[in-house]
Structure 1
Amino acid sequence: MARPKQFDEDRAVDAAMRAFWTAGYEGTSTQDLCTATGLGRSSIYNTFSSKRDLFERALRRYMAEKNSGTFAVLDGPGSAKDKVHALFRQVIDAPHEDPLGCLVVNATVEMGPRDTGIAGLLKLDQERRLHALTAMITAGQRTGELDKSRAATDLAQFVIAAIGGMRVAARGGAGKETLEGIANTALSCL
């Protein structure tokens, strides 16, 4: 008879997410995952089948958490510029307990070129955020708040790139003042 699981699988995925977010896929060893989750190797492999499987689950968890905040802003009240500013503030005011940077950006650079499954997951995530941002920007263009001379999709891509760049800058040591400067410059381009 198989022994029942004695751990919270969601907590283990959260802990693994933070480990991968901090060190990347290749930089996170199985021992690092054991330490982060408090699980033994056999529990990790019996539950998640592979490091790659655990990484994908952690990436999906990260996307769900970050996207819920993004979509709450985009679907909430306020002008289009206020919403973009709020998205930038999410980067500037990221919780201190969060690792620096962005797991999606890290995975895009590290895994995207060599893992078609992860690349597909990242593409779907990008398309979902792009669609939502494009719709919000289109609405802002209709009201005259945002520049109509540029395609809404181009502006949405710019916002996504600015957010990703801000996360990379933060990981590289940029402080709040620098991130605010990037955000203010980006806002002036809309």
Structure 2
Amino acid sequence: MGRSREFDENVVLQKAMELFWEQGYEKTSLSDLVEHMGIHRRSLYDTFGDKHTLFLKTIDFYGELIKDKLYAGVLHAKTSKQAIQFIFDFMIEGYEDRPWGCLIVNSATEMALRDKEVEEKAEEAFLQTERFLAELVRRGQQTGEFSCDYDAEVLAEILQNTLLGIRVLVKTSKNKEKMHRIANFFLDMLNK
């Protein structure tokens, strides 16, 4: 009979996610991972595979974690404008005060040009977000909150691009006031 695991897989996966999120893929060594995750190297390989496979799993884990937090916040919004405002605030203020930007955006900018699997995961995450944003915009147009001068899908593409830019700024700038100005400008544009 095989030996049972002495750790919670989700707990150690979250630790790996945080390390990759903070340092990036290239700067994170296997030794860093073993130490930060608090497991043996053999357990890492047996449970998660190699470093690259673990990295891909952390991207999925992060995607689900952030999606759950975003959807929960959006569900509490009474209007589409409040929902989009919540998304901007969430992206700007960060997740539990982590100034590391977005793991998916960070991974895409670090690796997507040379790693097909990272590129595919990033593209799928961005498309999923864009579809979600289009639905929020469409709902806002139907209720009269937002102008119908532009197609909801086009506005969602622009909104997604704005959010991507903000997620890069979050990692590279401390000027949250500027990021909130950008968000407010976009929300004002929806009303025209």
CA distance in 2, matches of 1:145, 1:104: 31
Structure 1 position 72, deviation (Å): 2.7
CA distance in 2, matches of 1:72, 1:149: 29
CA distance in 2, matches of 1:154, 1:184: 18
CA distance in 1, matches of 2:130, 2:92: 21
Structure 1 position 132, deviation (Å): 1.5
Which residue in 2 is equivalent to 1:140? 140
RMSD of aligned Cα (Å)? 1.8
Paired amino acid for 1:24? G
Structure 1 position 76, deviation (Å): 4.1
Which residue in 2 is equivalent to 1:107? 107
Which residue in 2 is equivalent to 1:26? 26
Normalised to the residue count of structure 1, the TM-score between the two structures is 0.90
Percent of aligned pairs with the same amino acid: 31
Q: Is the partner of 1:100 in helix, strand or coil?
A: coil
Matched, 1:7 2:13: no
Q: Is the partner of 1:88 in helix, strand or coil?
A: helix
Deviations 1:119-160 (A, max 9, x none): 222222222221121111112112222121222112112222
Matched, 1:67 2:101: no
Normalised to the residue count of structure 2, the TM-score between the two structures is 0.89
Give the 4+ runs in structure 1 shifted more than 4 A: none
CA distance in 2, matches of 1:37, 1:124: 27
What stretches of structure 1 of length at least 5 have no aligned partner? none
Aligned residue runs from structure 1 range 19-98, under 5 A = 19-98=19-98
Paired residues, what number?
190
Matched, 1:174 2:178: no
The answer to whether the 8 Å contact 1:137/1:146 transfers is: yes
The answer to whether the 8 Å contact 1:59/1:104 transfers is: yes
